[in-house]
Amino acid sequence: MIYHPDRYCRSPDNGCLSEPRRVAQTEAVNISGNTIFIPGATSGIGLALAIALQAKDNTVIIGGRRTELLDRIAAEHPGLHTIPIDTADPASIEAAAKQVLAQHPYLNVLVTMAGVMHIEDWHRPESFLASAESIITTNLLGPIRLIAAFVEHLQKQTKATIMTVSSGLAFAPLKITPSYNASKAAIHMLSESIRLQLVDTSIEVKELVPPGVRTALLPGYEDSAASMPLDEYIAEVVALLENQPDATEIQVESVKFLRYGEARGEYEQVVSALNATDFKAS
Protein backbone atom coordinates (compact mmCIF):
# COMPACT_ATOMS: atom_id res chain seq x y z
CA MET A 1 0.00 0.00 0.00
CA ILE A 2 1.17 3.52 -0.78
CA TYR A 3 0.67 5.88 2.14
CA HIS A 4 -0.10 9.47 1.13
CA PRO A 5 -0.68 11.52 4.30
CA ASP A 6 -1.42 14.58 2.15
CA ARG A 7 -3.76 12.88 -0.34
CA TYR A 8 -7.09 11.28 0.45
CA CYS A 9 -8.83 9.36 -2.33
CA ARG A 10 -12.40 8.58 -1.44
CA SER A 11 -15.02 6.60 -3.28
CA PRO A 12 -15.95 7.63 -6.84
CA ASP A 13 -18.89 9.66 -5.54
CA ASN A 14 -16.68 11.85 -3.36
CA GLY A 15 -13.57 12.08 -5.49
CA CYS A 16 -10.20 13.09 -4.05
CA LEU A 17 -10.20 15.62 -1.24
CA SER A 18 -7.37 17.68 0.16
CA GLU A 19 -8.09 16.23 3.60
CA PRO A 20 -10.69 13.87 5.06
CA ARG A 21 -13.99 15.25 6.27
CA ARG A 22 -13.89 15.56 10.03
CA VAL A 23 -17.02 14.42 11.85
CA ALA A 24 -17.92 16.60 14.81
CA GLN A 25 -17.20 15.01 18.15
CA THR A 26 -20.82 15.56 19.21
CA GLU A 27 -21.88 13.08 16.52
CA ALA A 28 -19.82 10.30 18.02
CA VAL A 29 -21.48 7.23 19.51
CA ASN A 30 -20.40 5.36 22.60
CA ILE A 31 -18.38 2.25 21.74
CA SER A 32 -17.80 1.17 25.35
CA GLY A 33 -19.34 -1.64 27.36
CA ASN A 34 -18.62 -4.47 24.93
CA THR A 35 -16.88 -7.78 25.53
CA ILE A 36 -14.51 -8.33 22.63
CA PHE A 37 -12.41 -11.35 21.59
CA ILE A 38 -9.51 -10.66 19.21
CA PRO A 39 -7.52 -13.79 18.34
CA GLY A 40 -4.20 -13.10 16.64
CA ALA A 41 -3.68 -9.93 18.68
CA THR A 42 -0.25 -10.37 20.25
CA SER A 43 1.36 -7.80 17.96
CA GLY A 44 0.71 -5.30 15.19
CA ILE A 45 -2.78 -4.08 14.37
CA GLY A 46 -4.46 -6.66 16.59
CA LEU A 47 -2.65 -5.72 19.79
CA ALA A 48 -2.84 -1.98 19.12
CA LEU A 49 -6.59 -2.23 18.44
CA ALA A 50 -7.10 -4.30 21.59
CA ILE A 51 -5.33 -1.69 23.72
CA ALA A 52 -7.31 1.13 22.11
CA LEU A 53 -10.64 -0.62 22.63
CA GLN A 54 -9.77 -1.44 26.24
CA ALA A 55 -9.09 2.27 26.76
CA LYS A 56 -12.68 2.89 25.63
CA ASP A 57 -13.96 0.88 28.61
CA ASN A 58 -14.48 -2.43 26.86
CA THR A 59 -13.59 -5.86 28.19
CA VAL A 60 -11.02 -7.18 25.72
CA ILE A 61 -9.66 -10.70 25.39
CA ILE A 62 -6.72 -11.30 23.09
CA GLY A 63 -5.61 -14.66 21.74
CA GLY A 64 -2.29 -15.99 20.51
CA ARG A 65 -0.16 -19.10 20.27
CA ARG A 66 2.71 -18.14 22.57
CA THR A 67 1.71 -18.29 26.23
CA GLU A 68 4.85 -16.49 27.39
CA LEU A 69 4.03 -13.58 25.10
CA LEU A 70 0.43 -13.54 26.30
CA ASP A 71 1.67 -13.45 29.91
CA ARG A 72 3.98 -10.54 29.15
CA ILE A 73 1.24 -8.58 27.41
CA ALA A 74 -1.14 -9.18 30.32
CA ALA A 75 1.51 -7.91 32.75
CA GLU A 76 2.16 -4.82 30.64
CA HIS A 77 -1.53 -4.05 30.14
CA PRO A 78 -3.50 -4.76 33.33
CA GLY A 79 -7.10 -5.66 32.65
CA LEU A 80 -6.38 -7.11 29.21
CA HIS A 81 -7.44 -10.76 29.24
CA THR A 82 -5.58 -13.49 27.34
CA ILE A 83 -6.46 -16.88 25.88
CA PRO A 84 -4.07 -19.31 24.14
CA ILE A 85 -5.24 -20.14 20.62
CA ASP A 86 -3.76 -21.33 17.35
CA THR A 87 -6.13 -20.19 14.62
CA ALA A 88 -4.60 -22.68 12.17
CA ASP A 89 -5.70 -25.56 14.40
CA PRO A 90 -9.43 -26.44 14.52
CA ALA A 91 -9.10 -28.18 17.90
CA SER A 92 -7.38 -25.14 19.40
CA ILE A 93 -10.14 -22.85 18.13
CA GLU A 94 -12.81 -25.09 19.63
CA ALA A 95 -11.03 -25.26 22.99
CA ALA A 96 -10.38 -21.51 23.08
CA ALA A 97 -14.01 -20.74 22.23
CA LYS A 98 -15.21 -22.86 25.15
CA GLN A 99 -12.77 -21.11 27.49
CA VAL A 100 -13.70 -17.63 26.27
CA LEU A 101 -17.42 -18.23 26.66
CA ALA A 102 -17.00 -19.85 30.07
CA GLN A 103 -15.00 -16.90 31.36
CA HIS A 104 -16.84 -14.17 29.43
CA PRO A 105 -20.46 -15.23 28.90
CA TYR A 106 -21.45 -11.74 27.73
CA LEU A 107 -19.09 -11.78 24.76
CA ASN A 108 -20.72 -9.80 21.96
CA VAL A 109 -17.89 -8.91 19.56
CA LEU A 110 -15.58 -11.23 17.60
CA VAL A 111 -12.69 -9.75 15.60
CA THR A 112 -11.10 -12.36 13.31
CA MET A 113 -7.70 -10.71 13.28
CA ALA A 114 -5.22 -13.57 12.81
CA GLY A 115 -3.32 -13.53 9.53
CA VAL A 116 -0.02 -14.32 7.84
CA MET A 117 1.64 -12.88 4.75
CA HIS A 118 4.51 -14.42 2.74
CA ILE A 119 6.41 -13.45 -0.37
CA GLU A 120 5.96 -16.14 -3.04
CA ASP A 121 7.40 -17.02 -6.44
CA TRP A 122 4.85 -18.89 -8.54
CA HIS A 123 7.33 -20.01 -11.20
CA ARG A 124 8.03 -23.23 -9.24
CA PRO A 125 5.68 -25.09 -6.88
CA GLU A 126 8.34 -25.48 -4.20
CA SER A 127 8.44 -21.68 -3.99
CA PHE A 128 4.76 -21.19 -3.25
CA LEU A 129 2.68 -24.28 -2.53
CA ALA A 130 3.47 -24.73 1.18
CA SER A 131 3.16 -20.99 1.72
CA ALA A 132 -0.17 -20.82 -0.09
CA GLU A 133 -1.62 -23.68 1.93
CA SER A 134 -0.47 -22.06 5.19
CA ILE A 135 -1.93 -18.68 4.24
CA ILE A 136 -5.30 -20.09 3.21
CA THR A 137 -5.48 -22.16 6.39
CA THR A 138 -4.76 -19.18 8.64
CA ASN A 139 -6.30 -16.28 6.73
CA LEU A 140 -9.45 -17.92 5.38
CA LEU A 141 -10.19 -21.18 7.20
CA GLY A 142 -9.18 -19.57 10.51
CA PRO A 143 -11.86 -16.86 10.37
CA ILE A 144 -14.43 -19.33 9.06
CA ARG A 145 -13.75 -21.68 11.97
CA LEU A 146 -13.80 -18.82 14.46
CA ILE A 147 -17.16 -17.63 13.19
CA ALA A 148 -18.47 -21.19 13.37
CA ALA A 149 -17.34 -21.42 17.00
CA PHE A 150 -19.10 -18.22 18.10
CA VAL A 151 -22.00 -17.51 15.74
CA GLU A 152 -24.67 -19.32 17.74
CA HIS A 153 -23.62 -17.57 20.95
CA LEU A 154 -23.52 -14.17 19.24
CA GLN A 155 -27.05 -14.62 17.90
CA LYS A 156 -28.28 -14.85 21.49
CA GLN A 157 -26.91 -11.40 22.34
CA THR A 158 -29.08 -8.30 22.08
CA LYS A 159 -26.51 -6.68 19.83
CA ALA A 160 -23.41 -8.37 18.45
CA THR A 161 -20.68 -7.79 15.90
CA ILE A 162 -18.45 -9.99 13.78
CA MET A 163 -15.55 -7.94 12.43
CA THR A 164 -13.56 -9.62 9.68
CA VAL A 165 -10.20 -8.30 8.51
CA SER A 166 -9.48 -8.06 4.79
CA SER A 167 -6.97 -5.69 3.17
CA GLY A 168 -6.57 -3.08 0.50
CA LEU A 169 -4.80 -5.90 -1.36
CA ALA A 170 -8.18 -7.61 -1.74
CA PHE A 171 -8.90 -4.95 -4.36
CA ALA A 172 -5.51 -4.42 -6.03
CA PRO A 173 -2.82 -7.12 -6.04
CA LEU A 174 0.72 -6.84 -4.75
CA LYS A 175 2.53 -9.17 -7.14
CA ILE A 176 4.90 -10.65 -4.56
CA THR A 177 2.08 -11.90 -2.29
CA PRO A 178 -0.45 -13.75 -4.50
CA SER A 179 -1.90 -16.07 -1.85
CA TYR A 180 -2.29 -13.29 0.70
CA ASN A 181 -4.12 -11.14 -1.87
CA ALA A 182 -6.42 -14.05 -2.74
CA SER A 183 -7.15 -14.86 0.92
CA LYS A 184 -8.16 -11.28 1.64
CA ALA A 185 -10.31 -11.05 -1.49
CA ALA A 186 -12.08 -14.17 -0.24
CA ILE A 187 -12.56 -12.59 3.19
CA HIS A 188 -14.14 -9.55 1.54
CA MET A 189 -16.67 -11.66 -0.36
CA LEU A 190 -17.28 -13.86 2.67
CA SER A 191 -18.08 -10.74 4.68
CA GLU A 192 -20.47 -9.47 2.03
CA SER A 193 -22.22 -12.84 1.85
CA ILE A 194 -22.66 -13.58 5.55
CA ARG A 195 -23.85 -10.02 6.13
CA LEU A 196 -26.75 -10.84 3.80
CA GLN A 197 -27.47 -14.12 5.59
CA LEU A 198 -27.26 -12.72 9.12
CA VAL A 199 -29.49 -9.72 8.44
CA ASP A 200 -32.29 -11.50 10.31
CA THR A 201 -30.18 -11.79 13.49
CA SER A 202 -28.75 -9.39 16.06
CA ILE A 203 -25.29 -9.70 14.46
CA GLU A 204 -23.83 -6.93 12.34
CA VAL A 205 -20.92 -7.85 10.09
CA LYS A 206 -18.18 -5.27 9.70
CA GLU A 207 -15.08 -5.58 7.55
CA LEU A 208 -11.86 -3.90 8.59
CA VAL A 209 -9.92 -2.99 5.43
CA PRO A 210 -6.35 -1.99 6.36
CA PRO A 211 -3.87 -0.36 4.01
CA GLY A 212 -0.19 -1.18 4.39
CA VAL A 213 0.55 -0.44 8.04
CA ARG A 214 3.92 -0.26 9.78
CA THR A 215 3.92 -3.69 11.40
CA ALA A 216 6.08 -6.80 11.09
CA LEU A 217 3.54 -8.57 8.87
CA LEU A 218 5.93 -8.45 5.91
CA PRO A 219 9.64 -7.63 5.88
CA GLY A 220 10.05 -3.93 5.08
CA TYR A 221 6.58 -2.85 6.24
CA GLU A 222 7.60 -1.87 9.76
CA ASP A 223 10.00 0.90 8.73
CA SER A 224 8.56 1.80 5.36
CA ALA A 225 7.55 5.33 4.45
CA ALA A 226 5.07 3.69 2.04
CA SER A 227 3.12 2.21 4.96
CA MET A 228 0.83 4.03 7.38
CA PRO A 229 2.11 4.55 10.95
CA LEU A 230 0.39 2.07 13.28
CA ASP A 231 -0.69 4.66 15.85
CA GLU A 232 -2.26 6.85 13.17
CA TYR A 233 -4.08 3.87 11.70
CA ILE A 234 -5.56 2.75 15.01
CA ALA A 235 -6.62 6.29 15.94
CA GLU A 236 -8.45 6.66 12.61
CA VAL A 237 -10.11 3.25 12.97
CA VAL A 238 -11.41 4.04 16.45
CA ALA A 239 -12.70 7.41 15.21
CA LEU A 240 -14.52 5.68 12.37
CA LEU A 241 -16.10 3.17 14.75
CA GLU A 242 -17.35 6.06 16.88
CA ASN A 243 -18.39 8.43 14.10
CA GLN A 244 -19.67 6.00 11.46
CA PRO A 245 -21.41 3.28 13.48
CA ASP A 246 -23.44 2.06 10.50
CA ALA A 247 -20.46 1.59 8.17
CA THR A 248 -20.11 -1.98 6.93
CA GLU A 249 -16.48 -1.45 5.86
CA ILE A 250 -14.01 0.32 8.13
CA GLN A 251 -11.89 2.19 5.60
CA VAL A 252 -9.29 4.74 6.59
CA GLU A 253 -8.76 7.39 3.95
CA SER A 254 -5.47 6.03 2.61
CA VAL A 255 -6.89 2.59 1.76
CA LYS A 256 -9.42 4.11 -0.63
CA PHE A 257 -6.66 4.55 -3.21
CA LEU A 258 -6.72 0.75 -3.53
CA ARG A 259 -10.32 0.06 -2.56
CA TYR A 260 -11.90 2.18 -5.28
CA GLY A 261 -9.28 2.07 -8.02
CA GLU A 262 -11.40 -0.07 -10.29
CA ALA A 263 -14.56 1.96 -9.64
CA ARG A 264 -12.68 5.15 -10.51
CA GLY A 265 -11.52 3.56 -13.78
CA GLU A 266 -7.91 3.66 -12.54
CA TYR A 267 -7.29 -0.02 -11.77
CA GLU A 268 -4.24 -0.45 -14.00
CA GLN A 269 -2.67 2.75 -12.70
CA VAL A 270 -3.30 1.76 -9.09
CA VAL A 271 -1.79 -1.71 -9.57
CA SER A 272 1.21 -0.20 -11.32
CA ALA A 273 1.78 2.34 -8.56
CA LEU A 274 1.33 -0.26 -5.83
CA ASN A 275 3.88 -2.61 -7.37
CA ALA A 276 6.39 0.18 -7.87
CA THR A 277 6.41 0.80 -4.11
CA ASP A 278 9.73 0.31 -2.32
CA PHE A 279 9.03 -1.02 1.17
CA LYS A 280 12.21 0.30 2.69
CA ALA A 281 12.76 2.84 5.40
CA SER A 282 13.29 6.36 4.15
Residue 260 appears among annotated catalytic residues: no
Q: Nearest-CA neighbor of 104 among 87, 83, 75? A: 83
In tens, the pLDDT along 72-87 reads 999 999 999 999 999 9
pTM score, two decimals? 0.89
pLDDT computed for residue 51 by the predictor: 98
Q: How far apart are CA 87 and CA 64, in angstroms?
A: 8
Domains (range + CATH), the chain: 32-275 (3.40.50.720)
Catalytic residue among 3, 8, 180, 260: 180
pLDDT digits (tens, 9 = 90+) for 172-194: 999 999 999 999 999 999 999 99
In which band, very low, low, confident or very high, does the pLDDT at 264 lie, cut at 50, 70 and 90? very high
What pLDDT sits at residue 5? 43
CA-based nearest residue to 201, from 148, 155, 163, 153: 155
Length of the chain, in residues: 282
234, 211 Cβ separation under 8 angstroms: no
Q: What are phi and psi of 175, to 5 degrees?
A: -65, -25
